Amino acid sequence: MTTPETATSPPSATADATVPPAGLGRLGSLGPVGLVLAGGISVQFGGALAVTLMPRAGALGVVALRLLVAAVVLLLVCRPRLRGHSRTDWGTVVVFGITMAAMNGLFYQAVARIPLGPAVTLEVLGPLALSVFASRRAINVVWAALALAGVFLLGGGGFSGLDPTGAAFALGAGAMWAAYIVFSARTGRRFPQADGLALAMAVGAVLFLPLGIAESGTKLLDPVTLGLGAAVALLSSVLPYTLELLALRRLPASTFAILMSLEPAIAATAGFLILDQALSAAEAAAIALVVAASMGAVRTQVGRGRRKRAALESTGLEG
């Protein structure tokens, strides 16, 4: 069974899986950490736009538009092959699609009931839990603990008074986020380029479209709504999911999960730079803790990779 820790080594039979889709070659040169950060920034801008769209299309309608437009774009760009895949390959991509649909649906149900900050904070607990359980090194528990402390500070140090249904939706989204990390890595190993992502997005769109139609109906056909939905799809789904899939081919899921805790910090920083929102002492401390945890996780991974390469060189097995 493939574990998150082995998510970075595609089998030789699918060596071309490391080649990014057309137009993403330069993005791949950012390195795995840069890819994750770029994806996080894109998600925050897309999320802000989605909030303005929710009064027009509803939470489920926004998710349906996101998945549908993203699926169409990725299918046109990637043109994935439908033949030559095993049942296990298809099972993986179907579960990945279900996971993406559930993650998005649960999160938007959460932000419809509780503020965005606490919702993101609760959602991040899923990847952080994954980083602890998936890691084989005790030091990663320390980085996860630091990131967790920062996330709670960013959420105001507590969650009393939140709508319990909204909090439950956010926690559910966090669990799906952790599953997304695992199945994104597995899909990336089994399908070349971003083919698996395109197919999984199509699965999620097919599953979620009836829910969006049931809630919003003909509102989804409004030209302005469609245009905003397309922008949300590109910023919140197509670009970040593709960047994360590329990153997961070169970064263990445990380290990736800790890096994803930068999401609340990116949101707070964007608010300060773009919206002129002053940071409190607690928020500044939260950002420092999360950044320290992320840097520590990356340094740990880099050091581990260097030791592995040195061991291979010493035994003459490299290459």
Q: Determine which of 102-111, 241-250, 298-307 has the lowest per-residue pLDDT on average.
A: 298-307
pLDDT in tens, 198-233: 899 899 999 988 988 888 888 888 888 888 888 888
Task: Report pLDDT for 169.
Answer: 92
- pLDDT category of residue 241 using cuts at 50, 70 and 90: confident
Can you read off the two tokens belonging to residue 254? 């445990």
Task: Report pLDDT for 319.
Answer: 47
- pTM across the whole model: 0.71
Interatomic CA distance for residues 68 and 75, integer angstroms: 11
Query: Hey, what amino acid is at 216?
Result: S
Task: Report pLDDT for 157.
Answer: 61
Region 265-275 average pLDDT:
64
Residue 18 has pLDDT above 60, yes or no: no
Residue 124 has pLDDT above 70, yes or no: yes
Region 82-90 average pLDDT:
84
Contact by Cβ (8 Å): 237, 70: yes
23: left (phi over 0), alpha (psi -120 to 50) or beta: left
Per-residue buried b or exposed e for 16-26, using 16+ beta carbons within 10 Å of the residue's own CB: ebeebbeebee
Listed ranges 25-29, 33-37, 247-251, 300-304; the one with the highest mean pLDDT: 33-37
Residue 306 has pLDDT above 80, yes or no: no
Region 255-274 average pLDDT:
68
Task: Report pLDDT for 31.
Answer: 76
